[in-house]
């Protein structure tokens, strides 16, 4: 016995053709996109710049140097 599919095969093929014919980028527009595409990279960039700046300051002033 085989179960009947949820959707007809013709409808699925039609939708697949529609989405494959679009040549533009498809972006998600949800509220979580702001977090994943803006906030996380911004936090990583700012924290890395802070740590690099602190390391350069410490090296130039000899802080943390073994004697």
* Average confidence (pLDDT) per 10 residues, the chain, 67 residues: 75 88 74 82 96 95 86
- Tell me what pLDDT residue 67 has: 75
- Tell me what pLDDT residue 10 has: 87
Q: How many C-beta atoms lie closer than 10 Å to residue 50's C-beta? A: 10
- Tell me what pLDDT residue 1 has: 62
Return the DSSP state at 35.
Answer: I
As a whole number of angstroms, the distance between CA 2 and CA 64 comes to 72
- Tell me what pLDDT residue 44 has: 96
- Tell me what pLDDT residue 61 has: 93
- Tell me what pLDDT residue 9 has: 84
Cα within 13 Å of Cα(66), Cβ side = 0
- Tell me what pLDDT residue 58 has: 94
């Amino acid at each position: 016995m085989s179960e009947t599919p949820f959707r007809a095969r013709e409808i699925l093929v039609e939708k697949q053709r529609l989405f494959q014919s679009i040549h533009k980028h498809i972006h998600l527009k949800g509220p979580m996109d702001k977090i994943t595409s803006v906030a996380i990279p911004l936090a990583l960039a700012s924290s890395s710049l802070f740590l690099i700046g602190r390391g350069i300051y410490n090296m130039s002033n000899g802080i943390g140097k073994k004697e």
